[in-house]
Structures are given as structure tokens and as C-alpha cells.
Amino acid sequence: MGSGESMMELRRSALDEFAHLPPSDRKPFTGVRIELADFPSPVGYSGEVPQTLVRAIADLLVKDRNRSGPGAALVSGLLEHFELEEARSFHEELFRVVWEEFRRRVLPAGTTEDFRIKTGVISDGTIPIELYGSKWSFKRFHADRDALLFSHLYGPVAGFTGGELHLIDIHPYMSLGSLHFDDVFEWSDEPTDGRKPVLRPHHSESALTMCGTKMGALGPDEIVFVNNLPNAGVLHGVTPVIVTDPDIFQREYHRCSVKDLRLC
């Protein structure tokens, strides 16, 4: 069984179960913002990442029936310490140590060798169309297929409007309406193997209003982390990017993600 098919089955079953679970009484995405200045590093963030910062991020990311983090974290204040390339190096190191803490809490049976971390820079508007069927990154509300955890650092960003990141916690939305997977989701249509669960358009506005948050158009001062485990129920989407100045247009994001090799 291929990883795409396995993850599709896991995501369908986890999302479908929300129809039968009681909704959380916590307001979605409360307290997702973390200021880097609140976690001073004795080496100015050029060396070891403070464990207090790692634990604070993991506290927000862990989200399941027994633990009620929002499932996302937004770390702000990078520009005080880093130029863009330095920020990307810090992002990678931060992601690796946050992932280990997150994995220790939610996937204790796994070992480091069971997972693969992938990093790279994606340039919106120039993505190879044969990869995703579009030269733009995925916009509609969805959960990524294989990633268990991902983070983005945006920049350079110039010459456009829009591109605002929105998040939805679909668990309370499905619980309150006793909605199942097929009521709320469809599968994305892509040329690659496997598909993403995508929120049906007629649910987008109501789900965002009831259970979502608007993170805004992020830039090089911020790193956003998202718990993309099947049972987290966190969806992400981006408002359309409108190019206002083609001569200077740039929308790049440095992405870190991790997948489970045991599903290959």
C-alpha cells in the first residue's frame, strides 16, 4: 500500500470521527502567538535554541482529545536577530528540535529513523505545474496529505496584495453539526499520487467564522507552525495573491515538514 493511499485512509477516518466526538469548549487558536523576545538566548540565537521556547511551541502544537493546544503556533520577532538567510537557518534548527519534542509527546512509539524531515524554498507563481497542477501554492482550506507537522517562514515578499494565511479547527464545526467527512470534504485533484482532504466551498465561510482565525499576510519576521496530524483537524488556506507590481513581485516561503516513512 502506497503512502498516499495510507494517509488518505487515515485522514478520512480521523476527520470522520469528529462527527461523534463532543466539541471542545476552548475557543479555537487562543494564544497561538509567541514573541521571541520572551525567550532570550545567551548566545543571541546563533547557537542552541532555548528549550523553554521549544516547550512553549510544542505546548501549543499538541492537540488531541486529552490535550487542548490550538494546534498552531506563530513565532514573531525574528527581524530583531536575523537577516533572511540567517532566519532560514534558525528556522530549520528550530523546526528540528520542536519536531523532536512534539514527536516525543504524540508519537512516542516512533524513532528518529521512522521520519524524514524535508526543507526547501517555494516560490509562488513559479511552482512546476507538473507537481501540483498549478504554479501557485494550494489556496483552498485543506490538510496536507503526508506532512505530520510543517512550518513556514515567508520572505522575500513584495509586489502583491492578498496571500493571507487562514486556519480552521474543523473538529468543533463537524461535532456541532454531526457532520461526516463526505458532508464537509472532497479530495483534491492533482497529478501526483494521493490526494488532500479539501473543505467543500460552501462550508468555508461558516467554518472560518465559527472555528477559524485570520493570521494575516506573514513575512520574514514570523514562523508559523501547524499540527497536520490526521486527528488534529487543523486546516489551512491562503487568500488569492494579486500581483500589483510584476517587476518586483516575490512571494517565497521557506518550508520545513516531516513525514512518517512507515507509511511508505
Strands 115-123 and 250-260: antiparallel
At residue 1 the predicted structure's pLDDT band, cuts being 50, 70 and 90, is very low
Q: Which of 223, 187, 205 is nearest to 39 (CA)?
A: 223
Between CA 7 and CA 118 the distance in angstroms is: 17
Say whether pLDDT at 203 is over 60: yes
Residue 160, all three cell numbers: 502583491
Answer yes or no: are the C-beta atoms of 77 and 34 closer than 8 Å: no
The pLDDT tens digits for 126-148 are 888 877 778 888 789 999 999 99
Domain CATH code at residue 117 = 3.60.130
Structural domain of 130: 3-263
Q: How many domains does the chain have?
A: 1
Which of 244, 82, 255, 88 is CA-nearest to residue 158? 244
User: Quick one: what percent of the chain has pLDDT higher than 70?
Assistant: 94
Most confident of 5-9, 37-41, 85-89, 104-108: 85-89
pLDDT at position 261 over 80: yes
Cα–Cα dist 178/8, whole Å: 21
Average pLDDT over residues 183-189: 94
Task: Say yes or no to pLDDT of 62 above 60.
Answer: yes
Whole-model pTM: value is 0.94
